[in-house]
């Protein structure tokens, strides 16, 4: 039976998951009754946020011109943070359906994903979705696709995943236009891992595509990247319900269970071969996921002074939650961290900002823990005077300035698609964030692409929010790491009552260090209550104070009236005053509310 392996790629919310569901329904893989929205996304969080986080693969059959085809549909994550995963899923395919919303047009991730597909030599079928909506402008969107991506407008297919219009034609086009899988290149078995997840009962479930040879239940396999070996206990494919099989052969897509205990042992992009007859070369393209954004997670109520007693439990609960989540998502890293301000917690690394948000949300939701998150930072490369290069992802770890020759920071290429009238404001935003203008391209009447190179550190907090507010929601962006660049960076330490508070320190450009520092100190001044003494707030680079503020001593804190009827209420108010302090962190003799640790984030534009 001829095989077609394909993905669906789209900007977020352009209807990828709905289209996938409709394809399953049209091939009778699921009954209409079973069809629920976003069938392929299994996590609640995905369903709620309308994004696909974990890729899945589904096998269906379609008859075209009297011939039965096996269609393997590989779902991909929609967001740039998972670009590597998208890219792995794409390498398992020969073609991709590029979905564009007929009411929105080409967006930043449409472009980014289309480029990824083209880089992986995939044949693209442009599909304009949501043509049933009154605001749909399919012809205009087709022109945008031609203008921006160079795909002829007349090749676009028009569908409505909601009503089912155009779905059969799309299935036919998949059979007709997408190329068949390449023939085997080597005799030994090679299969590409494009996804994995963790099941409490069966351990790690590995999703793969066979490129060469075949895999059978009982085979002893070897992961070429990690060198680990396992015995296959189960093979199967999703239709979309799992269906066990004995063998998966050339070009087929499926899953395996092989008593693999942790996701660490399975790297997306790695090549599976047989232990007895290993291939000499792995399939190309494997690389380690790169964590680019880092922050600390602390239990929300733990006190700095006493990780013991009842407080210990909160840290333990957080650790359990992180361990559990890590079984499902090995692409974030974590290590124990202790901060004098926030007590015991974890330093975590993420692929990007959305990834960070999702991990935090999953920890809170699935792990039932409350988290205080510190300001995210990026990963810096520090060249020491001895020539050695160290990678740091916590301002606190920055070596002594006298031993530093240079600091390099990650630079991203940001592609913004926005209404033409916002170009000026967005350019000002980018210039203010140390951006370098790269290009400005026309998409269609009223919409443009703006390319900038920006330090990742400048976009990790509120850049996206600013973009959205400037464009009233119409702007979209995508970014990709393009490398590291040296700049005049320095660590700014924040001193509260003359005590440096590492959790508040930051690395920033010298030119805006003073301005940033002043804003942070003003923020802290508002966040920290007056104490019984004056509290100096200082920002320093090395020994040099670059900004200062002070929190005046409390002058008056006394309940004026306390008579018979007031006693209970006043007592409760005072108890609250005392209680309130418990949720604060005490550094030296200053109590700092947890929110203050986020103060460093605000760039205050």
Partner 1 sequence: MPPLHTSTTAQITIEAPAIQGKNRAVTIEGILLADRPGGPRQWDIPGVYIHVPFCFHKCHYCDFYSIVDSHDRQQAFTQRLIQELNAASPVLCRSGPVETIFVGGGTPTLLAAQQWEHLLGVINRVMPHLDRREFTVEANPETVTAELADVLLSGGVNRVSIGCQSFNHHHLKTLERWHDPENVFRSVEILRQAGLANFNLDLIFAIPGQTLDDWLDDLDRTLALQPTHISCYGLMYEPNTPLTVKMKAGRIQPVEQDLEAQMYEATIDRLAAAGFEHYEISNWARQPLNPMATANRCRHNMIYWTNRNWWPLGPSASGHVEGLRWKNVPRLGEYLDGGPFPPIIDVEQLDQDGRIGEQFMLGLRLIEGMKLEEVEALLSHGRRGQQRRLAIERSLSEGYLVGLNGSLRLSRRGLLLADSVIAPLI
Q: Which of 472, 473, 558, 582 binds partner 1 (CB under 8 A)?
A: 558
- Choose the binding region for partner 1 from 29-37, 325-333, 379-387, 560-568 (rule: CB under 8 A): 560-568
Minimum distance, C-beta of residue 518 to partner 1, in the bound complex (Å)? 22
- Residue 544 or 578 having the CB closest to partner 1: 578
In contact, 364 and 299? CB cutoff 8 Å: no
User: Is the previous residue joined to 58 through a cis bond, with omega within 30 degrees of 0?
Assistant: no
Kind of pairing between the strands at 447-455 and 253-257: unpaired
Q: CB 537: neighbour CB atoms within 10 A?
A: 25
Place of tokens 């790690």: 204
Q: Is 562 in the site for partner 1 (CB under 8 A)?
A: yes
- Residue 249 or 593 having the CB closest to partner 1: 593
Q: Which of 119, 552, 588, 605 binds partner 1 (CB under 8 A)?
A: 552
- Residue 145 or 551 having the CB closest to partner 1: 551
Interface pattern 56-75 for partner 1 (x via CB under 8 A): --------------------
Q: Is 526 in the site for partner 1 (CB under 8 A)?
A: no
Minimum distance, C-beta of residue 340 to partner 1, in the bound complex (Å)? 22
Place of tokens 């696709």: 145
Minimum distance, C-beta of residue 313 to partner 1, in the bound complex (Å)? 23
- Residue 183 or 564 having the CB closest to partner 1: 564
Q: Which of 33, 65, 472, 561 binds partner 1 (CB under 8 A)?
A: 561
Name which of 433, 454, 597 is nearest 512 in CA terms. Answer: 433
The rounded distance, in Å, linking the Cα atoms of 234 and 542 is 59
CA 258 → CA 54, 230, 231, 250, distances in Å? 20, 6, 5, 20
Minimum distance, C-beta of residue 573 to partner 1, in the bound complex (Å)? 8
- Residue 162 or 530 having the CB closest to partner 1: 530
The rounded distance, in Å, linking the Cα atoms of 405 and 382 is 8
Q: Which of 567, 583, 595, 605 binds partner 1 (CB under 8 A)?
A: 567
Site for partner 1 in 531-550 (CB under 8 A): 532
Q: Which of 559, 583, 595, 605 binds partner 1 (CB under 8 A)?
A: 559
Handedness of CA 211, 212, 218, 223 (dihedral sign): negative
The rounded distance, in Å, linking the Cα atoms of 10 and 478 is 12
Q: Is 563 in the site for partner 1 (CB under 8 A)?
A: yes
Q: Which of 554, 583, 588, 595 binds partner 1 (CB under 8 A)?
A: 554
Cα dihedral 198, 201, 207, 212 in deg (nearest 10): 140
- Residue 31 or 568 having the CB closest to partner 1: 568
Name which of 122, 57, 58, 130 is nearest 96 in CA terms. Answer: 122
Minimum distance, C-beta of residue 372 to partner 1, in the bound complex (Å)? 25
Tokens at residue 453, please? 């190179």
Minimum distance, C-beta of residue 534 to partner 1, in the bound complex (Å)? 12
Q: Is 472 in the site for partner 1 (CB under 8 A)?
A: no
Minimum distance, C-beta of residue 581 to partner 1, in the bound complex (Å)? 9
Minimum distance, C-beta of residue 555 to partner 1, in the bound complex (Å)? 4
Q: Residue 215: enclosing H or E segment and its boundaries?
A: strand 215-216
Residues ≥6 apart with Cβ < 8 Å to 364: 370, 371
Interface pattern 573-602 for partner 1 (x via CB under 8 A): -xx-xx------------------------
Q: Is 568 in the site for partner 1 (CB under 8 A)?
A: yes
Tokens at residue 460, please? 């990790």
- Residue 35 or 567 having the CB closest to partner 1: 567
Q: Which of 134, 150, 543, 565 binds partner 1 (CB under 8 A)?
A: 565
The rounded distance, in Å, linking the Cα atoms of 172 and 178 is 10
Minimum distance, C-beta of residue 587 to partner 1, in the bound complex (Å)? 18
165: which DSSP letter?
B
The rounded distance, in Å, linking the Cα atoms of 443 and 419 is 10
Minimum distance, C-beta of residue 309 to partner 1, in the bound complex (Å)? 15
Minimum distance, C-beta of residue 582 to partner 1, in the bound complex (Å)? 12
Tokens at residue 554, please? 């409390």
Local structure of 139: helix, strand or coil: helix
Interface pattern 182-201 for partner 1 (x via CB under 8 A): --------------------
# binding residues, partner 1 (CB under 8 A): 23
Q: Is 560 in the site for partner 1 (CB under 8 A)?
A: yes
The rounded distance, in Å, linking the Cα atoms of 456 and 464 is 12
Tokens at residue 184, please? 């085997």
Q: Residue 466: enclosing H or E segment and its boundaries?
A: helix 463-470
Minimum distance, C-beta of residue 564 to partner 1, in the bound complex (Å)? 5
Residues ≥6 apart with Cβ < 8 Å to 495: 501, 536, 537, 538, 539, 540
The rounded distance, in Å, linking the Cα atoms of 494 and 504 is 6
Report the interface residues with partner 1, using CB under 8 A.
Answer: 530, 532, 552, 554-565, 567-568, 570-571, 574-575, 577-578
């Amino acid at each position: 039976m001829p095989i077609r392996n394909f993905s669906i790629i789209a900007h977020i919310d352009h209807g990828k998951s709905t289209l996938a569901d409709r394809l399953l329904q049209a091939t009778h893989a699921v009954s209409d009754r079973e069809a629920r929205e976003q069938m392929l996304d299994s996590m609640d969080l995905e369903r709620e946020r309308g994004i696909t986080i974990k890729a899945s693969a589904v096998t269906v059959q379609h008859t075209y011109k009297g011939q039965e085809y096996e269609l393997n549909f590989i779902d991909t994550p929609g967001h740039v943070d998972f670009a590597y995963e998208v890219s792995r899923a794409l390498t398992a395919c020969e073609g991709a359906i590029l979905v564009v919303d007929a009411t929105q047009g080409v967006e930043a991730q449409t472009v980014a994903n289309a480029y990824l597909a083209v880089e992986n030599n995939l044949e693209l079928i442009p599909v304009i979705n949501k043509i049933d909506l009154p605001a749909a402008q399919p012809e205009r969107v087709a022109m945008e696709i031609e203008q921006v991506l160079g795909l002829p407008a007349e090749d676009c297919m028009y569908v409505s995943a909601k009503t089912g219009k155009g779905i059969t034609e799309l299935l036919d086009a998949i059979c007709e236009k997408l190329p068949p899988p390449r023939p085997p290149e080597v005799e030994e078995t090679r299969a590409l891992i494009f996804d994995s997840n963790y099941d409490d009962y069966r351990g790690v479930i590995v999703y793969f595509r066979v490129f060469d040879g075949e895999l059978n239940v009982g085979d002893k396999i070897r992961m070429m990247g990690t060198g680990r070996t396992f015995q296959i206990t189960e093979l199967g494919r999703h239709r979309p319900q799992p269906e066990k099989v004995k063998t998966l052969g050339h070009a087929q897509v499926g899953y395996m269970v092989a008593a693999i205990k942790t996701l660490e042992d399975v790297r997306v992009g790695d090549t599976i071969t047989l232990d007895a007859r290993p291939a000499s070369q792995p399939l190309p393209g494997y690389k380690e996921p790169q964590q680019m954004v880092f922050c600390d997670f602390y239990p929300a109520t733990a006190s700095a002074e006493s990780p013991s007693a009842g407080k210990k439990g909160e840290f333990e609960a957080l650790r359990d939650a992180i361990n559990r989540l890590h079984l499902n998502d090995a692409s974030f890293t974590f290590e124990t961290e202790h901060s004098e301000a926030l007590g015991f917690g974890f330093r975590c690394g993420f692929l990007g900002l959305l990834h960070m948000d999702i991990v935090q949300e999953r920890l809170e939701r699935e792990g039932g823990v409350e988290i205080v998150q510190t300001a995210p930072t990026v990963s810096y490369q520090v060249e020491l005077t001895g020539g050695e290069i160290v990678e740091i992802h916590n301002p606190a770890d920055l070596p002594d300035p006298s031993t530093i020759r240079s600091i390099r920071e990650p630079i991203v290429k940001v592609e913004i698609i926005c209404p033409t009238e916002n170009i000026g404001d967005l350019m000002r935003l980018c210039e203010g964030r140390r951006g370098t203008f790269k290009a400005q391209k026309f998409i269609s009447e009223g919409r443009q692409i703006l390319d900038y190179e920006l330090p990742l550190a400048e976009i990790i907090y509120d850049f996206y929010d600013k973009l959205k507010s400037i464009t009233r929601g119409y702007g979209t962006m995508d970014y990709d790491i393009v490398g590291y660049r040296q700049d005049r960076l320095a660590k700014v330490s924040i001193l509260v009552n003359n005590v440096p508070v590492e959790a508040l320190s930051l690395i920033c450009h010298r030119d805006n260090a003073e301005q940033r520092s002043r804003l942070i100190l003003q923020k802290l001044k508002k966040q920290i209550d007056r104490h019984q003494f004056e509290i100096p707030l200082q920002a320093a680079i090395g020994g040099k104070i670059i900004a200062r503020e002070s929190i005046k001593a409390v002058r008056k804190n006394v309940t004026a009236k306390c008579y018979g009827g007031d006693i209970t209420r006043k007592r409760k108010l005072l108890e609250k005053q005392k209680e309130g302090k418990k949720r604060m962190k005490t550094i030296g003799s200053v109590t700092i509310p947890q929110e203050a640790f986020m103060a460093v984030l605000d760039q205050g534009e």
